Amino acid sequence: MGQKRRIVVCAGAGCFSCNSAETLSTLQRLVKERGVETQVDIVPAGCMGACQRGPLVQLPNDDILLQGVGPQEAAAVLDQVLGGPAAPAELKLYSAREPDAPDAHFFQKQQKIVLENCGRINPESLDEYIAVGGYQALHRMLSEMTREAVVAEIKKSGLRGRGGAGYPTGLKWETVAKMVNEQKYVICNADEGDPGAFMDRSVLEGDPHRVLEGMAIAGYAVGANKGFVYVRAEYPLAIKRLELAIKGARREGLLGREIFRTSFSFDVEIRIGAGAFVCGEETALIASIEGRRGQPRPRPPYPAESGLWGKPTLINNVETFANIAPILTKGGEWFSAIGTPKNAGTKVFALAGKIRNTGLIEVPMGITLREIIFDIGGGIPGGRRFKAVQTGGPSGGCIPEAHLDTHVDYESLQTLGSIMGSGGFIVMDDTSCMVDVARFFMEFCMDESCGKCVPCRVGTKHMHDLLAKICAGHATMGDLALLEELAPMVKATSLCGLGMTAPNPLISTLRYFRDEYAAHIRDRRCPAGVCSMDAVEALR
Amino acid sequence: MSAPLTFDDPRVKRVTREMKLYDRRPDALIQILHIVQEIFGYLPEMVLRLVAKELRVPASRVYGVSTFYHYFSLKARGDHQCLVCMGTACYVKGAGKILDQLQKAFGVRPGEVTPDGKLGLAQARCLGACGLAPAVVYDEEILARVDPAKIAATVQEKLRGS
């Protein structure tokens, strides 16, 4: 008898709602009934990526990934692992031994750093995280490295903030580290307000200790002894697993006082957000942690100088923190060799919309949009035509077919009038109306504007009304001219990132799909058939 | 209507206990409001006044915070809650139509409750379950890849079944 064989069942939010819990319990029951507990382990794990095919089950040695495994299929899966006949062929999604299978591209073009443990280890077990090398980076750092050396390593890696803006992480750490103050804080931004993005959720659900380890390393590097995770209330499973992870780490002395018997102490608390997109803005997030309305304030001073309760504060996003431990383990040079020279490492994207393979992917920076959408995503279903891909959420833009060969990095996306954002990737086919999409995002920004500054509060409302007028078929070319005047003005004069980026979807759709706007205004016709102008006409 | 809340109500006592756990720190306001909403399903005015007093923050600030964040509600929720995800992925797959259908079938707008108090309709920014788009959450259950033409009937059936 060799090693115990592991059957890993996806317990990420996507598979959970396809009832993977029942698959898990059925497998566990069968193992007991057949008395094979010594041979097989049934393990729940975080997101495996291919969310649309759930519930997903991974067979031993990561060789084979099965899709759509309900409780009825459990017996056949167990048979196969125990050396019996193979499970029905339609269950098989991917096998490492068959590189030519149609779905193989989904896995081959990916490179996993942030998600390397997601879908492999039980996120509720500290032991499993330690078994795959967890907390070793923290230990090595505390015993061998100075604070300066840690910051230098992060700088060398070329890691840039994965929250969206792409500010160099090492530089941010250095600024906070240089501040002289007896009290500093580390904040993990897990609010993830972008609709259409679920990377942070999946990392927290699938590998919470990785984030905590990254935060503790940051705490040591910048000289902070207290961390906060600001997480969305809409993510109850992530909150639960994070709470468990914090408790487990505290119990084993990996968080709390005198970690690894050194003089370094670091503890983490959870703060639950309450639904405000503007809290992605760091000064607004800080106000929310302090128990106030999440309204931003002008910068400088930056949080690095004066943040939470006026103390120097480091704020990074979940994915940024998840990159830290591997960088320290394998070195900054290893990391900087992945991706492109100015955009090191990988990026996790949430693929959704009109695309065959929806789910979570991690790819090296510099991959093209076409590779993501057609090789990994499998293209557009239903024989439809690709129209645009929306990146970066409400602050991003829509990229048309002509630019599909663009390399994905912070600068290229910006040149196209979009942004990386936190990593939402929504594909649209010819049934989507781009004017309606712009209106949808403007409505979102209007609702989410905190109301503090006039350009954003009034500007988004005004732009939304104009867009709604176009969708309803009541607009004139004068309205379009007004929109084109308003958009850059709101961009230039708003106080924070929300207002500064709110016009982006409008500007980018105007740039690439101007004929659709013209069709709505001149011909009172929606080419995609989304806007129902007649109905509105009748109401007047 | 149910009887007005009093300080003897065990739920009110629980809120008081939770505030003690946070040392009645003013910065715990949002966390306390989460607890109140979890216990009552919404934020009753009487409890908000109590929270203001205990945490020593002005009632105006408690009101300001309660209304600023979308997650908090000052109105009682229905016995059952139907939450339509309006995230981008769900939207491009027809979430707008789903919302329309539900509004028509039950005669309520998002954020409202049916006159009999049975069903509350609400919209979410994004559930982060974009692989299941369009998604609707009925109470705790996620309904994945919802068909706009069938959603009203599905919810009707669930209401009758409960």
Contacts with B89 from chain A: Cβ below 8 Å: 195-196, 352-353, 358, 426
Question: How far is it, in rounded angstroms, from Cα A288 to Cα B29?
Answer: 10
Burial tier of A216 (Cβ tally within 10 Å: 0-12, 13-18, 19+): buried
Q: Which of 51-70 (A) contact B at CB < 8 A? A: 51-52, 54
B97 touches chain A (CB under 8 A): no
Per-residue pLDDT in tens (0 to 9) along chain B, 162 residues: 456 788 888 999 999 999 999 999 999 999 999 999 999 989 999 999 999 999 999 999 999 999 999 999 998 888 999 999 999 999 999 999 999 999 999 999 998 999 999 999 998 888 878 888 999 999 888 898 999 999 999 999 999 987
Q: What is the reported pLDDT for A536?
A: 47
DSSP A182-231: S--EEEEEE----TT--HHHHHHHH-HHHHHHHHHHHHHHHT--EEEEEE
Going by DSSP bridges, is the β-strand pair B119-124/B80-85 parallel, antiparallel, or unpaired? parallel
| Beta pairing partners, A425 | A351, A391
Those residues whose C-beta lies under 8 Å from the C-beta of residue B151, and which sit 6 or more positions away, are B98, B101, B102, B136, B143
Partner-chain contact B133 A358, CB within 8 Å:
yes
User: In a mutagenesis test of the B interface, which of A192, A354, A357, A426 is the best target, namely the one with the most B β-carbons within 10 Å?
Assistant: A426
Q: What is the reported pLDDT for A469?
A: 96
Smallest Cα distance from B33 to chain A, Å: 9
Closest residue of chain B to A287, computed from CA coordinates: B27
Partner-chain contact A424 B88, CB within 8 Å:
yes
Is A336:A344 a contact under the CB 8 Å cutoff? yes
* A131 phi, psi to nearest 5 deg: -65, -30
Is A43:A6 a contact under the CB 8 Å cutoff? yes
Partner-chain contact A17 B92, CB within 8 Å:
no
A362 touches chain B (CB under 8 A): no
Question: How far is it, in rounded angstroms, from Cα A360 to Cα A339?
Answer: 18
Question: How far is it, in rounded angstroms, from Cα A301 to Cα A290?
Answer: 17
Q: What is the reported pLDDT for A1?
A: 45
Is A47:A10 a contact under the CB 8 Å cutoff? yes
B89 touches chain A (CB under 8 A): yes
| Eight-class DSSP state of A84 | S
Is A520:A526 a contact under the CB 8 Å cutoff? yes
Cα angle vertex A108, ends A14, A204, to 5°?
Answer: 35
Closest residue of chain B to A393, computed from CA coordinates: B88
Can you name the CATH fold of B80-161? Glutaredoxin (3.40.30)
pTM above 0.80, yes or no: yes
- Residue A362, H or E segment: strand A359-364
A440 touches chain B (CB under 8 A): yes
Q: What is the pLDDT of residues A490-519, one digit of tens each?
A: 999 999 999 999 999 999 999 999 999 999
- Give the 3-state DSSP-derived string for A300-324, with helices as H, strands as E and coil as C: CCCCCCCCHHHCCEEEEEHHHHHHH
Going by DSSP bridges, is the β-strand pair A267-272/A226-231 parallel, antiparallel, or unpaired? parallel
Those residues whose C-beta lies under 8 Å from the C-beta of residue A533, and which sit 6 or more positions away, are A471, A472, A473, A524, A525, A526
Q: What is the reported pLDDT for A368?
A: 97
Q: What is the pLDDT of residues B47-56, one digit of tens each?
A: 999 999 999 9
Closest residue of chain A to B68, computed from CA coordinates: A293
Partner-chain contact A14 B131, CB within 8 Å:
yes
Question: How far is it, in rounded angstroms, from Cα A25 to Cα A21?
Answer: 6
A390 touches chain B (CB under 8 A): yes
CA A492 to chain centroid, in Å, comes to 28
Per-residue pLDDT in tens (0 to 9) along chain A, 540 residues: 457 889 999 998 888 888 899 999 999 999 999 999 999 999 999 998 888 888 999 987 667 889 999 999 999 999 999 988 888 888 888 877 777 776 788 888 999 999 999 999 999 999 999 999 999 999 999 999 999 999 999 999 999 999 888 999 999 999 999 999 999 999 999 998 888 889 999 999 999 999 999 999 999 999 999 999 999 988 889 999 999 999 999 999 999 999 999 999 999 999 999 989 999 899 999 999 999 999 999 999 999 999 999 999 999 999 999 999 999 999 999 999 999 999 999 999 999 999 999 889 999 999 999 999 999 999 999 999 999 999 998 989 999 999 999 999 999 999 999 999 888 999 999 999 999 999 999 999 999 999 999 999 999 999 999 999 999 999 999 999 999 999 999 999 999 999 999 999 999 999 999 999 999 999 999 999 999 875 444 444
Q: Is the dihedral of CA A168, A448, B81, B157 positive or negative?
A: negative
Is B147:B94 a contact under the CB 8 Å cutoff? no
Smallest Cα distance from A458 to chain B, Å: 17
Domain segments of chain B as ranges: 10-68, 80-161
Partner-chain contact B30 A52, CB within 8 Å:
no
Short-list B87, B133, B83, B143, CA closest to A197: B87
- b/e map of A374-411 (b: 16 or more CB within 10 Å)? bbbbbebeeeeebbbbbbbbbbbbbbbeebbebebbbe
A274 touches chain B (CB under 8 A): yes
Question: How far is it, in rounded angstroms, from Cα A349 to Cα A33?
Answer: 41
Instruction: Name the residue facing A198 among B25, B92, B128 (closest C-beta).
Output: B128
Q: What is the reported pLDDT for A108?
A: 86
Q: What is the reported pLDDT for A539?
A: 44
